[in-house]
């Protein structure tokens, strides 16, 4: 159970930021005893891997805080975040951590299952994140983009650490993401309804003006 929660938390974290969970696992595996990556995932703690992830994270952090650029970044990340989520779930769910001292064989018979599961989880979280940003930008004139992005980065860090150190708390993070998803789609529906009403009013005003002109 804890292996599944660890993988799920890391995959959800990747949906918010592709590089934070991978970098978190790599750093903790390299410099602490909090996580022991299986041999097939040991490359995550390689110095070159960590350097590349750090550079990509720096680019992501900057791009995601600039209105318009954040939307383009989300388009690109549609492919990157699910991939990172698959890798994070695969590595995290089969690792020995401070909570899981004896990883079970839940996924060993089908090694592709955690990767696919992680990809789908990350894609779902990414979809909510990408859908929420236009709402935030529209309601704040673009000023909310860096605030929302910083909150997402912080959430990704917390979710990654909790997934490794205290995976049971991942359930709270998932509940928060579910609530946020509900809020996002509710706001989008309200904005769409408001646009439709404004369009109908404009069409009605034009019809009245035309009638007056030719009446």
- Is the sign of the CA dihedral 135, 137, 140, 146 positive or negative? positive
What percent of the chain lies above the pLDDT cut of 70? 77
Both tokens of 63, joined, read: 């791009």
SS3 content of the chain, % helix, strand, coil (to 5): 80, 0, 15
Q: CA 76, 156, 84: angle at the middle one, nearest 5?
A: 45
- The single-letter DSSP state of residue 167 is G
DSSP labels for 148-161?
HHHHHHHHHHHHHH
Low-confidence ranges of the chain (pLDDT < 70): 98-112, 181, 183-185, 187-215
Nearest-angstrom CA–CA distance, 202 and 192: 15
Residue length, the chain?
215
For 139: left if phi > 0, alpha if psi spans -120 to 50, otherwise beta; the answer is alpha
Provide the pLDDT for residue 185: 67
> What is the CA angle 180-62-188, rounded to 5?
30
pLDDT for 26? 93
Provide the pLDDT for residue 104.
Answer: 61
What is the predicted pLDDT for the residue at 210? 58
Q: What interhelical angle do 112-140 and 2-16 show, nearest 10?
A: 40
- Cα separation, 16 vs 181, in Å, equals 13
Q: Residue 23 has what pLDDT?
A: 95
Q: How many CA atoms lie within 13 A of 119 on its CB side?
A: 11
pLDDT at residue 107, as a whole number: 59
pLDDT digits (tens, 9 = 90+) for 76-107: 899 999 999 999 988 887 777 766 666 665 55
Q: What's the pTM?
A: 0.79
């Amino acid at each position: 159970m804890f292996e599944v929660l660890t993988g799920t938390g890391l995959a959800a974290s990747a949906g918010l930021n592709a590089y934070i969970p991978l970098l978190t696992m790599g750093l903790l595996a390299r410099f602490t005893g909090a996580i022991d990556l299986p041999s097939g995932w040991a490359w995550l703690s390689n110095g070159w891997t960590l350097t590349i992830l750090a550079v990509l994270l720096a680019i992501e952090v900057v791009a995601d805080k600039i209105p318009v650029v954040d939307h383009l970044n989300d388009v690109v990340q549609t492919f990157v975040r699910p991939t990172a989520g698959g890798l994070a779930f695969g590595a995290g769910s089969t690792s020995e951590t401070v909570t899981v001292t004896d990883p079970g064989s839940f996924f060993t018979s089908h090694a592709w299952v955690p990767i696919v599961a992680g990809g789908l989880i990350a894609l779902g979280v990414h979809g909510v994140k990408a859908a929420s940003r236009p709402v935030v930008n529209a309601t704040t004139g673009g000023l909310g983009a860096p605030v929302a992005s910083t909150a997402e980065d912080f959430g990704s860090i917390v979710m990654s650490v909790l997934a490794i150190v205290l995976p049971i708390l991942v359930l709270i993070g998932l509940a928060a993401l579910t609530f946020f998803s509900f809020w996002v789609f509710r706001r989008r529906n309200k904005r769409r309804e408001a646009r439709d009403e404004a369009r109908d009013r404009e069409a009605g005003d034009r019809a009245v003006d035309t009638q007056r002109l030719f009446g």
